[in-house]
Structure 1
Amino acid sequence: MKALVAIVGRPNVGKSTLFNRLVGSRKAIVDDYPGVTRDRNYADADVLGHVVSLIDTGGFEPSVSDEMFSLMRQQATLAIQEADAILFVVDAREGVMPADHEIMAILRETDKPVLVLANKVEGRAVESASLEAYELGTSQVFPISAEHGVGVYDVLEALANVLPQIDEISNENSDGRIKIAVIGRPNVGKSSIVNRLLGEERMLASDIAGTTRDSIDSTLDVGDERYLLIDTAGMRRKRSISMRIEQYSVVQAIKSLEQCDVALLVLDATQSVTDQDARLARLVDEKGKGVVVLVNKWDLVEKDSSTAGAYVKEFRDKLPFFSYAPVLFISAQTGQRAHRILDQVRIAYTNNHARISTGVLNRFFEDIVAKQPPPTVQGKTVKLYFLTQVAVAPPTIVAACNHPELLAISYQRYLVNQVREHFSFEGAPLRILIRPRSGSRPKREKGKLRTVSARQ
């Protein structure tokens, strides 16, 4: 599992600039679907060989009408509750402000490592620019210019030395348990669903020490099937803090998704699909996890024979990249359809770990290409030679092509849809990578290798 590093500080001290500096070219571009922004506040970053999940708490700022100290306390609380290490950014130009002391006082209450960064030292003597930050009572201040990269390497070195030694969790489940993360916006009923699973579906359940700091995971055994519900304590802990920022659910989801095999994405049946629902769905897809969508509070909805279909249509229209996710209408309160949750989890897990032999895949491939060959582009014939599956969790298939850069996006979607139609993969993201045939020269565009992929 990746360590979680939070960047905190007053508004306009350069948190987002530092975030972009640390993420660099690793930051993915997110498709322009509704609710999916290109200005993400979470991403993976490479810290001298340690891949960490980086959170810019600047993206969690409420409206400007909120009290400053309330905002700072919420940011610091977020960092204390969830992060493994904290980067506290102050503005070297403005100097230390009362709000900085407020944040530092809260951060001192945690035993997690805190690095103090004096940003915006460009054009000033480095030492004099950062001296005032020692007023915060820290033993070391890192003078940096996030905009120009000055001093950032020193921060990376210090951060690498304090990061907890957290091993990456293998995609293969060594203990035989399917790891389940329950994610969703606040107040959609996540805790109620967990309680329903543990209270009525279980034959044996217990709390065990989790793999993250202050985390408790719950085991669940149903017959011969064994499950692990990730960080059930985190859901209860969330309700005990004063922060009510919706984006907190993204932070919690990032941590849980790093550990899980299957995600249960919980929606509120009494509300339309929101931008935050879309963000969480995109996060599940990016992480390559199996998924089941639970539309909770279905008992509270006035409905007729078309209500469920209309909700699914709205869901599919707003999240077209999530077409593979099964939708289950439930009520954690009454137990309606709750008995089907684990069945869907098992299907999603199995499909996300499914392997198709190269022979079977290519017999199918020959049929679909013969039925609809790739279109000619710019007078060039685009040929696909074979398919082979190279990975699971998520299932990843490579298609060898003579001109990867010319294969239309619509045809890539055709391949994905045909594979799904024939082999199912319900509840599992599917990747098809279009690569040059071995021995051929890959095309370059503006000096860069063109890699094409289809994800759905």
Structure 2
Amino acid sequence: MSKPVVAIVGRPNVGKSTLFNALAGEMISIVKDTPGVTRDRIYAEVSWLDKNFTLIDTGGIEPDSSDVILSQMRDQAQIAIDTADVIIFITDVRQGLVDSDSKVADMLRRSKKPVVLVVNKVDSFSKFMPDVYEFYNLGIGDPVPVSAASRLGIGDMLDEVVKYFPEHDSEEEEDERPRIAIVGKPNVGKSSIINKLLGKNRVIVSDIAGTTRDAIDTAIVHDGKEYVFIDTAGLRRKSKIKEELERYSIIRTVTAVERADIVLVVIDAVEGVTEQDAKIAGIAHERGKGVIIVVNKWDAIEKDNKTVKEYENKVRTVLSYMPYAEIMYVSAETGQRLPKLYDMIDMVIQNQNLRVATGVLNEIMTEAVAMQQPPSDKGKRLKLYYITQVSVKPPTFVIFVNDKELMHFSYTRYLENKIREAFGFKGTSLRFFVRERKEKDQ
């Protein structure tokens, strides 16, 4: 099941970022060596009670004149309507109800998406409540008073938001088909890859009804097995501002990746791997998805016997934080190697769902510890007691130790490499959680 997506929309200076940061709080995990992913924090994982969701901030570029503000807000609202399951529309009690609020409210109301109307900067409920009631005039439900800065009312707001999350349908749960998102910069050939894969199977193409997102889901049957491809290339937006377009495509990438099991990161062979590619791949990495790097337009590259090796080194260097990702060289134009994509997808899915018996894991760990002594600090040495796998997609392990502080990132990485040597786990990231157990708990 993919997590619901919640988007924040509102005028400049009403506190979108303050609210975003209040919700994302400490929960943003900054992946140290993932380039550029968390710098422009557009999205974050948030959990409330037993619900987890992805929060998206649609703002980002603050326009200076009021007519620009309205058109920007409309764009942001459109992004939210396209990609979110629930929309938080944030207004400002001190500025009161503004014309552009009403215009955006109309748009949100027509979209039929659930909207939670939030009135921010209510530092004192007794003092500001009469002003909050004014926002009933927007006609999109009860205003929820909050103060993002002092974190007042945030719980009530989240209660409203999670009310709209879909209950798990039994039908939905049964959809066992692998879901594959095709992501990448504009014009790297995402759509042509899908079209080529569809080529021979044109009869069975069904754009799956009921997907409200702007990503187009296409079911393709290959060798009697059905795969669902999520294409993010559907919408071409005319955008005046390059950053805005980039932000928009990143938001769409996040929502597509969220719904996928495997992510194909498409790179243009001629252009080579870029920082934007690293950013896009980083989203899949952070989300723990299976990753296949698809180098498209391979037919356009002059080759000798060293080409592949050199190219691979370049890709691995830029995407150094995901050494597990598989790389394929294809051409959507000629169809070269595209059928092999399915084998690769099947393999990665198998690895994502692989479970390793606890006994075997502990043997690997004991051996690893014998070969390389755990780190120590001020005379205290790290002891590893026990390791067990707790879930799949991605395979997730918990290691029990005597002192969490001593478990350096590099030692976890060392154990990961040992586990990979034994089981491969190609194409999928692995997650490790370190838990402390005192000596007496043994």
Q: SS state of the match for residue 322, structure 1? A: coil
For the structure 1 residues 24 and 346, does the alpha-carbon distance in structure 2 shift closer, same or farther, using more than 3 Å as the test?
same
What amino acid maps onto 1:258 in structure 2? Answer: E
Task: State the match for 1:451 in structure 2.
Answer: none
**Distance (whole Å) between structure 2 residues aligned to residue 277 and residue 302 of structure 1:** 22
**Distance (whole Å) between structure 2 residues aligned to residue 169 and residue 149 of structure 1:** 38
Contact 1:62 1:245 in 2 (8 A): no
Contact 1:144 1:152 in 2 (8 A): yes
**Distance (whole Å) between structure 2 residues aligned to residue 191 and residue 80 of structure 1:** 23
5+ residue gaps, structure 1, are: 443-456
Contact 1:72 1:102 in 2 (8 A): no
**Distance (whole Å) between structure 2 residues aligned to residue 359 and residue 441 of structure 1:** 20
Task: State the match for 1:446 in structure 2.
Answer: none
Q: SS state of the match for residue 187, structure 2? A: coil
Contact 2:388 2:398 in 1 (8 A): yes
Task: State the match for 1:384 in structure 2.
Answer: 384
**Distance (whole Å) between structure 2 residues aligned to residue 254 and residue 130 of structure 1:** 34
Q: CA-to-partner distance for each residue in 1:368-417, whole Å, 9 max, x for gaps?
A: 33222223432123333443333222122333433332133322221112
Task: State the match for 2:163 in structure 1.
Answer: 161
Contact 2:84 2:213 in 1 (8 A): no
What amino acid maps onto 2:94 in structure 1? Answer: R
5+ residue gaps, structure 2, are: none
For the structure 1 residues 168 and 385, does the alpha-carbon distance in structure 2 shift closer, same or farther, using more than 3 Å as the test?
farther
Contact 2:215 2:233 in 1 (8 A): no
With 335-344 and 41-50 compared, the bigger mean Cα shift is at 41-50
**Distance (whole Å) between structure 2 residues aligned to residue 133 and residue 302 of structure 1:** 63
With 4-13 and 253-262 compared, the bigger mean Cα shift is at 253-262
Task: State the match for 1:357 in structure 2.
Answer: 357
**Distance (whole Å) between structure 2 residues aligned to residue 381 and residue 132 of structure 1:** 62
For the structure 1 residues 32 and 123, does the alpha-carbon distance in structure 2 shift closer, same or farther, using more than 3 Å as the test?
farther
Q: CA-to-partner distance for each residue in 1:281-314, whole Å, 9 max, x for gaps?
A: 2222232221111122333445555454444333
With 377-386 and 207-216 compared, the bigger mean Cα shift is at 207-216
**Distance (whole Å) between structure 1 residues aligned to residue 318 and residue 85 of structure 2:** 34
For the structure 1 residues 88 and 351, does the alpha-carbon distance in structure 2 shift closer, same or farther, using more than 3 Å as the test?
same
**Distance (whole Å) between structure 2 residues aligned to residue 152 and residue 404 of structure 1:** 32
Task: State the match for 1:43 in structure 2.
Answer: 44
Q: Tell me how many residue pairs correspond in the alignment.
A: 435
**Distance (whole Å) between structure 1 residues aligned to residue 185 and residue 166 of structure 2:** 28
Contact 1:47 1:159 in 2 (8 A): no
Task: State the match for 2:280 in structure 1.
Answer: 280
Q: CA RMSD in A?
A: 3.2
For the structure 1 residues 76 and 378, does the alpha-carbon distance in structure 2 shift closer, same or farther, using more than 3 Å as the test?
same
* Correspondence 1:197-216 to 2 at 5 A: 197-200=197-200, 204-209=204-209
Contact 1:402 1:440 in 2 (8 A): no
With 123-132 and 250-259 compared, the bigger mean Cα shift is at 123-132
* Correspondence 1:209-248 to 2 at 5 A: 209=209, 217-230=217-230, 232=231, 235-236=233-234, 238-239=235-236, 241-242=237-238, 245-248=245-248
For the structure 1 residues 284 and 380, does the alpha-carbon distance in structure 2 shift closer, same or farther, using more than 3 Å as the test?
same
Identity, % of aligned pairs? Answer: 44
Post-superposition shift, 1:321? 1.8
Q: SS state of the match for residue 206, structure 2? A: strand
Task: State the match for 1:149 in structure 2.
Answer: 151
Post-superposition shift, 1:322? 0.8
Task: State the match for 1:26 in structure 2.
Answer: 27
Task: State the match for 1:453 in structure 2.
Answer: none
**Distance (whole Å) between structure 1 residues aligned to residue 154 and residue 192 of structure 2:** 44
TM-score (norm 1): 0.83
Task: State the match for 1:262 in structure 2.
Answer: 262
With 366-375 and 79-88 compared, the bigger mean Cα shift is at 366-375
With 25-34 and 4-13 compared, the bigger mean Cα shift is at 25-34
Contact 1:2 1:168 in 2 (8 A): no
